[in-house]
Structure 1
Amino acid sequence: MSAIQKLPTGVPGLDIITYGGIPQGRTTLITGKSGAGKSILSLQIACNLARLGVKTVVLSIEETAEDLIATADTLGFDLASLVKQGQVVLTDLTRPMEGPTHVSGNFDVEGLVHLVSELVKKSGATAVVLDSATALFSPRPPEAHLRSHFFRLVSSFRQLGLTAVMTAEAPADYGQLTTLGVEDFVCDTVLVLRNLVDGERRRRSIEVHKYRRSAHYKGEYPCTMTLQGLTVFPLDARHTEQPSEDTRFPSGVAGLDAMTRGGWLRDSIVLVRGPSGSGKTTLAGMYARAGALRGERVIYYGFEETKPILMRNFAKVGLSLKELEASGHLKVECRYPEATSPEDLLVELRSGLANFKPSLIVVDSISSIEHSTSERGFRQFMVGLSSLIREHSRSALLIQTVGTFVENDAAPPYLSTIPDAILLMDYARKEHGLERTMTVLKMRGSEHTSAEHRMTIVSGGLQVEPLGWVPSK
C-alpha cells in the first residue's frame, strides 16, 4: 500500500497531531456543536492551502461572501487578496432571506456536483471547502436518501481529484458525531472540535477522531481561538535538532550555586516551591536579573502583581530591573490569569518565545494559573508549557506557592515529573522570628547537596549559607 499523501493545513499544532496535515485527494470532516469554531477552522485551512499554491473553492451555505471575507481578514487570513489573485474562489450558496422559502420535490445534489465540476475546470482548483453539510441538507431528506446524497457528494469530490474539507454540526460534545449521522463510513478523516464548560470557564479542545491509513495523536488536545485563528497545543516534548548543552549558568544567588555545584544546567526547568513570604519572587528576580546582566535575553511572566508594583518591590530590595528592561535584555509581562484562559496564556508564551527569543523564562507563579482553572485545565497547561520550553531548548524557573512544609509535613511535590530540578523554600516560626531555609530536593543529571541551608533576605536579594552559620548584624 502506497503512503498516503498529505497537505499541511498551516494551523499551529494541527499538522503535528495529524502527522503532517489532511489527506490529499480525500475528504476531511470537521464536526462540533455550534460555536466550536468549525467555520473559522475550515476557512483558515482554505486560506493556508491557497497560500501554498493549492487553488481552493469555498462553498458557503451559511454566510455570504462579504461576511466570509470580513471574518477572515479580521483574523489576518488575507482572504480578500487571495480571492483577487484567483487562489480562492468564493461561491455564495446562501438562500435568499426575502420572503418565505417553499420546498418541493426530492432533494438532489447533482446540481451542486455540476457546479463544483465547472468551477474546478475554470479555476484549476484542487481543493474544496464546504461549510456546512448540515445547512446543505436542510430541510433534511429521508435517512436513506441522505446517505445516498452524502456519499455521492464525497465521491464526486474524489473523482474530481479534490482535497475536500466539510463541516457539520454535532448534536452533543460526545456521542454521535453529527446530526446527519452519515459521516463515519464516508469521510477519511474526522476532526472533532469541542467548547466545553469546565468549572466556571469554557475550554476548547480538538480530537482526531479518525484518520484512515495514517497514524495520528489519540485523545483530546487543548486549542484556543486567537486573533490569527485556531491554535492547537500538541502537549508533547518534541525533539529538537539542538542537543542539550552540558553547561551551567549562575542562579544569581552565590550560596545556591554552591548547593547545586556550580549553578543550574542549561535547558533545564526548575520548580521553586514554598509558602507565601518564603522569598520565591525575590529568587525569581535574582534569576532574571543575573541572566540579563550576562547579556542574555530573559522574559519574566508575573501573574500575581501588576507590573508597577512588581518593579517597585524589586527596586526596594536592590534588584532594580528598569535599566535591564530598557536595554532590551529583559521583558516583563504581568497579567491576572482570571482575565484570560490557560490556552491563551500558552499562545502568549509561544509568541514570546518566537518573537523575543529569550534564553531564560520565569513564570511567577503557576499557582495563580492553577487557582483560575480546573485540575484538568491546569495539568494541560503545565504539560503544554513544558512542551514549549523543551521545543525551543530554553531554561525556565517556575514558581509554585504551597503551605509550609514544616507545619504540613508535605508529601513529594505534585509536579515532580515535569521539572529537572526542584528547590524547596520554607520557614519555621522561632522565638526570635522566622527562620527561612532552602533545600535542593532534586536535580537531574547533576551532583548537588541535599542538606538544608539557612536563608535570609537582605539588601540585594537572598543570602544562603549552611545551617550553623550566624549572619552578621
Structure 2
Amino acid sequence: MSQFSSPSRIETGIRQVDTILDGGLLPASATLLRGEPGSGKTIFGLHFLAEGVRADDTGLYINLGEPTAYLRDTADSFGLDIDPVNFLTLSPSGEEFRADQTYDLFRSGETENPPLVENIRGEVETVGPDRVVIDPITELRYLTMDDHQFRTQVLALIDFLKSQEATVLLTSQAADSVPDDDLQFLVDTVITLERDQRQRTLDVSKFRGSSSKRGPHTVTISDDGMHVWPQLVPSDHQREFSSEKLSSGVPELDSLLRGGLTTGTVTFLSGPTGVGKTTTGLQFMKEAAGRGQRSVLYSFEENRSTMLERAEAVNIPVKAMIERGTLRIEEVSPDELTIDEFTHYLQQEVEEHGSEIIMIDGVSGYERALRGTGGKETHHLIKIGRYLRNMGVTGLVTNEVHQITGEFRATEQQMSHLADNIIVLRHVEYKGELRKVIGVLKMRTSDYENWLRELNITEHGLTVGEPMSNLRGILTGTPNWQDDE
C-alpha cells in the first residue's frame, strides 16, 4: 500500500491524483470523469483498473465506445497490466448486439428490466467486481426515450453497483451541445479533464465526504501513461526553521548586507546583462557548499555548459560542487515544462533532497519558458517565493534590467514588491572606463549599508571594493568625483 493510501481509500493508479484526492477515491462511491474527446478519460480509466490488478481487485470495463481489442492495445502501449480485467462490450457494434442490430437497449419506462440493465446486472453478479468503469456513460443518453428515463436508469445503475460494494468510474463526453449537469448531481465525485492547444488540466469540482486540493492541475501524457502535477499551494507547506545569515564569502559584500543574506528570504539580483548577477548568486552558493549545504540553480536563459565554463573561469568551482552533490544546475528550455511540473520538481529538491538555496536565473526566461501560466507569471513567482519562505529556503532571483546605463530601475517587470531583499548591480562609465558597482536597495529583515561599492569579477574571483563615497551620480551611469567641475 502506497504512502498516499489508507484502508478507507481506493487508489486511482495515478500517484498525484491520489495526492489531490487526499489519498484516493472513497470505496463504493461513484465518480464522474468529464472531458471532451481526446482529453484522457479512457487512459485515466485504464490506470484505475490497472491499479486494481496490482491491488488484487477484480475489475470490470463496461464498454460503450471503443472496441475491447483497441482498449487492451492502448493499455499495453502505456505498460498498464489489465489482462485480468473483465470486459463487457455494450456498444451497438459489439458482439452482443450484432445479431439483431437493435439500438433499443433501453426500452420505455414501463419495461421493468431493459436488456442493457439485464446485461450489466448479470455480468456484475457473475464477476463480483471491486472496480467498474463505464465508458462513456453519456452514450446511454441516445438510447433512452427522454432525459428523465436516462437519469432514472443511470441512478438505478449506480445504486446497484454501489450495493455490490463496487467503486465506479463513469466517463462523460462533456460538451456544450451535450451537457452533463444532471449526471454531476447523481455521483459522489466529479473530476474534469480539459485541454487546449498548450496544456491539459484536471480539476476536482465535487468530492462528497472528503477534501481535495484545489486546481486546476496540469496533466501530461507520456509513454508510460498519464501524469498529474498538482498546483503549488504555499499554505499547505510549512516547517519550523531558525533564521541565520548566509555569507557570500566576500567580506566587503557581507558588510553591505550587514553580515549576509537572511536565510528563508527571497533576494532579487537586479541589473543589466553582463554585470555579474549570476556570478554573484553563485558566490553565495559556493560559500554555502563549503558548509555542506545543497543549492539548485534553474537556468532559463543560459545553457548549462556555458554557465559551467564561465563560472570556472572566475574561480567558482561549480564542477567540483556538482560532483560533491552540493550544487545542481538544471537548464529549462522554452516550453519544456509547465508551471506545475516546475514547481513539483522544485518541491522535490526542497523536501526530498534537502536543498537550502534555490536560484531562478532569469525572470524573463522564466516567463517565456513555462507553459500553463495563463499570463500570470508574476502570480506564480509570488507563490514560489511564499513556498520558499514557508520552508526556510533561501531564494535567489536574477532579474535583467535592459538599460545598460542611464535612468535607474530596480526591476524591469516592476517586481520589486516580490522581493525581501534587492541587490542592484550597475554598469557605470567613468572617464572613458566601464566599471561595475553593487549596492543594496532593500532588506526587509535587517539593516544594510547605504553605500555603493565597486564590483570586480576576475579570474581570481569576485571582489568588492571600499565604499565609493567620493562619487556622485553613479546610478545615472555617468558618475563624477564630488570635486570635479
Taking a change above 3 Å as real, the CA distance of residues 47 and 346 of structure 1, as seen in their structure-2 partners, is farther
Q: Does 1:306 find its partner at 2:310?
A: no
Q: Does 1:459 find its partner at 2:459?
A: yes
CA contact (8 A) 2:133 2:170 kept: yes
User: Which of residues 58, 62, 65 is equivalent to 1:59?
Assistant: 62
Task: Measure the CA separation in 1 of the matches of 2:46 and 2:391.
Answer: 29
Match of 2:191, as an amino acid? L
Kindly state the Cα deviation for residue 403 of structure 1 after the two structures are TM-superposed. Answer: 3.3
After TM superposition, the score normalised by the length of structure 2 is 0.77
Task: Measure the CA separation in 2 of the matches of 1:18 and 1:420.
Answer: 34
2:38 — aligned with what?
35
Q: Does 1:129 find its partner at 2:122?
A: no
| SS of residue in 2 equivalent to 1:35 | coil
Match of 1:36, as an amino acid? S
Match of 2:201, as an amino acid? S
CA contact (8 A) 1:238 1:390 kept: no
Task: Measure the CA separation in 2 of the matches of 1:411 and 1:399.
Answer: 10
2:395 — aligned with what?
396
Q: Larger C-alpha radius of gyration, 1 or 2?
A: 2
User: Which of residues 252, 258, 270 is equivalent to 2:255?
Assistant: 258
State how 1:71-220 maps to structure 2 within 5 Å. 71-72=74-75, 75=78, 79-80=80-81, 83=82, 89=86, 96=93, 102-107=101-106, 113=117, 117=121, 125-135=129-139, 137=141, 142-171=146-175, 179-197=179-197, 202-218=198-214, 220=216
Task: Measure the CA separation in 1 of the matches of 2:23 and 2:145.
Answer: 36
Taking a change above 3 Å as real, the CA distance of residues 214 and 411 of structure 1, as seen in their structure-2 partners, is same
2:476 — aligned with what?
none
Tell me which moved more, 357-366 or 309-318. 357-366
Taking a change above 3 Å as real, the CA distance of residues 93 and 395 of structure 1, as seen in their structure-2 partners, is farther
Task: Measure the CA separation in 2 of the matches of 1:263 and 1:12.
Answer: 41
| SS of residue in 2 equivalent to 1:244 | coil
Tell me which moved more, 122-131 or 273-282. 122-131
Kindly state the Cα deviation for residue 410 of structure 1 after the two structures are TM-superposed. Answer: 5.2
Kindly state the Cα deviation for residue 390 of structure 1 after the two structures are TM-superposed. Answer: 6.0
CA contact (8 A) 1:406 1:426 kept: no
Task: Measure the CA separation in 2 of the matches of 1:107 and 1:210.
Answer: 29
Task: Measure the CA separation in 1 of the matches of 2:145 and 2:274.
Answer: 67
CA deviation map 1:87-130 (0-9, x unaligned): x5555556648999944435269555555555655665433233
Taking a change above 3 Å as real, the CA distance of residues 335 and 246 of structure 1, as seen in their structure-2 partners, is closer
Kindly state the Cα deviation for residue 408 of structure 1 after the two structures are TM-superposed. Answer: 5.4
1:330 — aligned with what?
327
1:44 — aligned with what?
47
Kindly state the Cα deviation for residue 368 of structure 1 after the two structures are TM-superposed. Answer: 0.5
Task: Measure the CA separation in 1 of the matches of 2:9 and 2:296.
Answer: 37
Tell me which moved more, 318-327 or 437-446. 437-446
Taking a change above 3 Å as real, the CA distance of residues 351 and 16 of structure 1, as seen in their structure-2 partners, is closer
State how 1:211-250 maps to structure 2 within 5 Å. 211-218=207-214, 220-225=216-221, 227=224, 229-240=226-237, 242-250=239-247
Task: Measure the CA separation in 2 of the matches of 1:140 and 1:299.
Answer: 59
CA deviation map 1:59-78 (0-9, x unaligned): 34444555545544655xx6
Task: Measure the CA separation in 2 of the matches of 1:251 and 1:228.
Answer: 45
| SS of residue in 2 equivalent to 1:423 | strand
Task: Measure the CA separation in 2 of the matches of 1:158 and 1:340.
Answer: 40
Task: Measure the CA separation in 2 of the matches of 1:101 and 1:365.
Answer: 66
| SS of residue in 2 equivalent to 1:323 | helix
2:481 — aligned with what?
none
Kindly state the Cα deviation for residue 234 of structure 1 after the two structures are TM-superposed. Answer: 2.6
Taking a change above 3 Å as real, the CA distance of residues 234 and 333 of structure 1, as seen in their structure-2 partners, is closer
CA contact (8 A) 1:54 1:127 kept: yes
CA deviation map 1:366-394 (0-9, x unaligned): 32021345653524643564476467654
Taking a change above 3 Å as real, the CA distance of residues 429 and 41 of structure 1, as seen in their structure-2 partners, is farther
Taking a change above 3 Å as real, the CA distance of residues 164 and 361 of structure 1, as seen in their structure-2 partners, is same
Taking a change above 3 Å as real, the CA distance of residues 348 and 138 of structure 1, as seen in their structure-2 partners, is farther
Q: Structure 2 unaligned segments of length 5 or more: list them.
A: 1-7, 108-112, 472-485
| SS of residue in 1 equivalent to 2:274 | coil
Task: Measure the CA separation in 2 of the matches of 1:394 and 1:319.
Answer: 22
Kindly state the Cα deviation for residue 236 of structure 1 after the two structures are TM-superposed. Answer: 0.8
Taking a change above 3 Å as real, the CA distance of residues 323 and 213 of structure 1, as seen in their structure-2 partners, is closer
Q: Structure 1 unaligned segments of length 5 or more: list them.
A: none
Taking a change above 3 Å as real, the CA distance of residues 214 and 451 of structure 1, as seen in their structure-2 partners, is farther
| SS of residue in 2 equivalent to 1:262 | coil
| SS of residue in 2 equivalent to 1:308 | helix
Q: Aligned-residue CA RMSD in angstroms?
A: 3.9
Taking a change above 3 Å as real, the CA distance of residues 296 and 54 of structure 1, as seen in their structure-2 partners, is farther
Q: Does 1:26 find its partner at 2:26?
A: no
CA deviation map 1:307-326 (0-9, x unaligned): 22221222222224223323
| SS of residue in 2 equivalent to 1:79 | coil
Taking a change above 3 Å as real, the CA distance of residues 66 and 254 of structure 1, as seen in their structure-2 partners, is farther
After TM superposition, the score normalised by the length of structure 1 is 0.78
CA contact (8 A) 1:12 1:232 kept: no
| SS of residue in 2 equivalent to 1:407 | coil
Q: Does 1:376 find its partner at 2:375?
A: yes
Kindly state the Cα deviation for residue 54 of structure 1 after the two structures are TM-superposed. Answer: 5.2
CA contact (8 A) 2:304 2:329 kept: yes
Taking a change above 3 Å as real, the CA distance of residues 321 and 412 of structure 1, as seen in their structure-2 partners, is closer
